Structure 1
Amino acid sequence: MEEKNKKNQIDRREFLKRLGIGAAVSTVALTGCNSGKNSVSGDRSALGDIPVDRMTFRTNPKTGEKVSLLGYGCMRWPTLPGGDEPIDQETVNRLVDFAIGHGVNYFDTSPAYCKGRSERATGIALKRYPRDKFFIATKLSNFAPSTWTREESLKMYHNSFRELQVDYIDYMLLHGVGMGNGMAELEARYIDNGILDFLMTEREAGRIRNLGFSYHGDIRVFDYLLSQHEKYKWDFVQIQLNYVDWKHAKEVNTRNTDAEYLYGELAKLNIPAVIMEPLLGGRLSNVHDHIAAKLKQRRPDESVASWAFRFAGSFPGVLTVLSGMTYMEHLQDNLRTFAPLDPLTEADMEFLEETAQALLRYPTIPCNDCKYCMPCPYGLDIPGILLHFNKCINEGNMPSSAQDAGYRKARRAFLVGYDRSVPRLRQADHCIGCNQCVHHCPQNIRIPEEMQRIDRFVEDLKQGREF
């Protein structure tokens, strides 16, 4: 597999050619519920007016339809206060109104998002518009073995139509192929039960307009599905792509595959790519302070996050770039980036590669806050624990040695922030290592090991022990 990846990597000249650098790229030519931990704020945000009627669009080669290059990821709809976290429908409607009013027309959801509530909330918001004003993408998210039977998978599929209040789905995905047991799980979820054949007949009948899959994990599954392109005729594929994962995915997580390879394989077959995790789970909008300063110095009026979105959007084979925009400031910031897109230059690309290498020197945990690991049967807030740990690394509040001048301040910031971010009964010390979460993590994080490591770290801080 290593040799295959090297063989298929795009050399620098071919990369720049695909990216369109060296030629003018005009707008015409270009034609996964969250508490707000990664909100855009302070001097990391963008400045300037919100543009209207200037969205960059890409053309779906199959249908000829114009798709907004900024896609709305509906994994992190805002919620109301309360333990049950009901979705704040009024705010969702306002976000959708603003997005559509500024050219966004691609909305990506799933039966698994927001504790099963995302499809309904998305459907309610979009139902107020004519059907030809938006494209809806959803997924057959039959992760649990209890949903692998044909009957249960069909029930999930038909329920998506009811929740979304539509009679056809524009973009339907096999969800998270490559997760878990790789090929064996793919066969159990979609092939042996005849579900993939069924979805193909639904596409022929027009109830599905485009059929694709979202990929995580086992590269054998990705390669197999592309090798069967003549049979399945994939209309699009959703991949993780950002300026760190482009060449360094394995350094972030050993099971991941470089986005350079994934995008290159799709480009060979002229299959449009839909991009997820352009911000690497928010980490590329919340980078270490000195890295953020360099990004802001280069483009002072634009946000730190805009660099990652410009990277993902600059590839001509990308149909849309998904962003889970919980707050209006997220949406407005991204609209400034994509309306219209200012494609990367060769110098920008070199600068981002240097930035990626600098980011790799900070050992954050590759949690994307997707919440597939939740709920924990023992009540842990797994994403909250991991995100607080990462946040302290990025902000330089990671206590190292008691001999350091800033140790006491960093120690206090970590411990106080931990208690504020994660209730004590949901902290890492309550993990018993049952491993139920590991199978569901698309980033293949060894969650129990990380919980034990963080718990030891916290206990050492509390006791004032040396590291």
Structure 2
Amino acid sequence: MVYHDYQGLKLSALGLGAMRLPVIDGDESRIDESETEKLIGYAMEQGINYYDTAWGYHGGHSEAVVGKILSRYPRDSYYLSTKFPGYDLANMEKVEEIFEAQLKRCGVDYFDFYFFHNVSEPNIDAYLDKKYGIFAYLSKQKELGRIRHLGFSAHGGKKVLRRFLAAYGEHMEFGMLQVNYLDWTFQEAKEKIELLSEYNVPVWVMEPLRGGRLANLPREQAEKLRNLRPEESVPAWAFRFLQSIPQVKMTLSGMSNFQQLRENIATYQTHRPLNDREMQTLLGVAQDMLKNKILPCTGCKYCLNYCSRGLDIPMLLGLYNEHTFTEGGWLAGMVLESVPEDKHPSACIGCKRCEEVCPQQIKISEALADFTEKLK
């Protein structure tokens, strides 16, 4: 197992995420404890020492199951992380209540790593609002040793990240981002990592395989990779990409069966970052995947001065691209929660003035109408 040095700790470069554990009869709230115990047992044997859960995973049952299974091992043989569920604004006044409940759920006296969960457009104002006392409370728990390391996860855009880091960056010991070779430019992962680097915040990675999408590529794209590394599996390329980014200290993968677990552990027996040719080929594969599936908006913002409704068209097209490529998902809806309704895609009246100045000749009005339908 590859390990990274982190503040005197030896962290396995691969961590086990507990958001996609084995379940019974397809019911996400019914974790198969027997199978999960076997998975964690094998992971421990093979050197994985980082386990990540959260308040809301598996209908609120993930923390209890993971904590129960890990309690069978010496407390100093693993690192446990969980998160404050700020994705739900109703929780903002409950930081102490939730934190105490999490310790009991997991059966521990402290968390090795604790997150502000999902810093994003809908909750950034609340996270920064001192009346809730979230940062003050969590900082106090760190002083008391009940949190060993404090950080955050984020699905928000760069503006949100800048606000959060401007307020708390000097106190953040890690930041978790959605990073993979598809999102390197598509979701601006490269620029987000650079932003964290300005505050010397190491990077934790979620969605390394983008929900499994990067585990199986079309034959033509997979062949490009095989020609360069015949011995490497398609999923392994996603992890080798992350091994090529110096800021990445932890990669979390939600391995829900033994095949995934064995293959990923086998990959992390070695550290084999990509060379320049391999990196460019892989990023080319990402562009091939996006080609003809997303609109070629470059964010030039020429359209902004011509929208009679004052819509942030580049932002909306970016969300449309994400929603279309992912074939749904929750990200677009989450971001739009923080946008006034009269600035939603449905507010477009189809005047097409923006299209007259679009260098990419995008049919913006049609895209926003389609976005509106997709969101219903």
Paired position in structure 1 for 2:60 = 116
Paired position in structure 2 for 1:224 = 163
Paired position in structure 1 for 2:4 = 58
Following superposition, which runs of at least 4 residues in structure 1 exceed 6 angstroms of deviation?
A: 448-451
- The alpha carbon displacement at 1:265 in A equals 2.2
**Bigger share in strand:** 2
Could you tell me how far apart the structure 2 residues matched to 1:134 and 1:101 are?
Answer: 11
Paired position in structure 2 for 1:403 = none
Paired position in structure 2 for 1:90 = 34
1:184 paired residue among 125, 130, 135: 125
Q: Gaps (5+ residues) in structure 2?
A: 296-323, 346-368
- The alpha carbon displacement at 1:220 in A equals 2.3
Q: Which moved more, 1:293-302 or 1:140-149?
A: 293-302
- The alpha carbon displacement at 1:192 in A equals 2.6
Paired position in structure 2 for 1:47 = none
Could you tell me how far apart the structure 2 residues matched to 1:195 and 1:167 are?
Answer: 20
Could you tell me how far apart the structure 2 residues matched to 1:450 and 1:324 are?
Answer: 30
Paired residue secondary structure (1:293): helix
Paired residue secondary structure (1:309): helix
Paired residue secondary structure (1:192): helix
Relative to structure 1, the CA distance from residue 82 to residue 148 in structure 2 (aligned partners, 3 Å threshold; closer, same or farther) is same
Equivalent residues of 2:89, 2:126 under 8 A apart? no
- The alpha carbon displacement at 1:354 in A equals 1.1
- The alpha carbon displacement at 1:339 in A equals 0.8
- The alpha carbon displacement at 1:328 in A equals 0.6
- Are 2:140 and 1:201 equivalent residues in the alignment? yes
**Paired residue type of 1:195:** I
Could you tell me how far apart the structure 1 residues matched to 2:290 and 2:211 are?
Answer: 15
Paired residue secondary structure (1:320): strand
Could you tell me how far apart the structure 2 residues matched to 1:82 and 1:273 are?
Answer: 32
Relative to structure 1, the CA distance from residue 287 to residue 363 in structure 2 (aligned partners, 3 Å threshold; closer, same or farther) is farther
- Are 2:296 and 1:358 equivalent residues in the alignment? no
- The alpha carbon displacement at 1:110 in A equals 0.3
Could you tell me how far apart the structure 2 residues matched to 1:106 and 1:364 are?
Answer: 36
Paired position in structure 1 for 2:97 = 155
Relative to structure 1, the CA distance from residue 134 to residue 288 in structure 2 (aligned partners, 3 Å threshold; closer, same or farther) is same
**Paired residue type of 1:131:** R
Relative to structure 1, the CA distance from residue 110 to residue 157 in structure 2 (aligned partners, 3 Å threshold; closer, same or farther) is same
- The alpha carbon displacement at 1:246 in A equals 1.6
- TM-score, structure 1 as length reference: 0.63
Paired residue secondary structure (1:235): coil
Cα distance per residue 1:314-350 (max 9 Å; x no partner): 2222111110000111111111211122111122111
- Are 2:286 and 1:344 equivalent residues in the alignment? no
Paired position in structure 2 for 1:3 = none
2:232 paired residue among 299, 302, 309: 302
- The alpha carbon displacement at 1:121 in A equals 1.2
Could you tell me how far apart the structure 2 residues matched to 1:303 and 1:450 are?
Answer: 36
Paired position in structure 1 for 2:71 = 127
Q: Gaps (5+ residues) in structure 1?
A: 1-54, 250-257, 366-388, 394-427, 429-434, 456-467
2:174 paired residue among 236, 241, 249: 236
1:325 paired residue among 255, 260, 263: 255
**Paired residue type of 2:158:** I
Equivalent residues of 2:92, 2:126 under 8 A apart? no
Equivalent residues of 1:183, 1:220 under 8 A apart? no
Paired position in structure 1 for 2:223 = 293
**Paired residue type of 1:160:** Q
How many residues matched? 319
Cα distance per residue 1:269-312 (max 9 Å; x no partner): 32211011111222111333321232234323322111111111
- Are 2:27 and 1:78 equivalent residues in the alignment? no
Equivalent residues of 2:12, 2:48 under 8 A apart? yes
- The alpha carbon displacement at 1:196 in A equals 0.9
Relative to structure 1, the CA distance from residue 82 to residue 175 in structure 2 (aligned partners, 3 Å threshold; closer, same or farther) is closer
**Which structure is higher in RCO with an 8 Å CA cutoff and minimum separation 6?**
1
Matches within 5 A, 1:244-255: 244-249=182-187
Cα distance per residue 1:57-92 (max 9 Å; x no partner): 1111xx310001001111100101165741000110
Relative to structure 1, the CA distance from residue 175 to residue 118 in structure 2 (aligned partners, 3 Å threshold; closer, same or farther) is same
Equivalent residues of 1:178, 1:219 under 8 A apart? no
Relative to structure 1, the CA distance from residue 142 to residue 271 in structure 2 (aligned partners, 3 Å threshold; closer, same or farther) is closer
Relative to structure 1, the CA distance from residue 185 to residue 282 in structure 2 (aligned partners, 3 Å threshold; closer, same or farther) is farther
Paired residue secondary structure (1:331): helix
Could you tell me how far apart the structure 1 residues matched to 2:202 and 2:89 are?
Answer: 30
**Paired residue type of 1:141:** P
Paired residue secondary structure (1:100): helix
Matches within 5 A, 1:357-436: 357-361=287-291, 363=293
Paired residue secondary structure (1:148): helix
Could you tell me how far apart the structure 1 residues matched to 2:27 and 2:132 are?
Answer: 37
Paired position in structure 2 for 1:42 = none
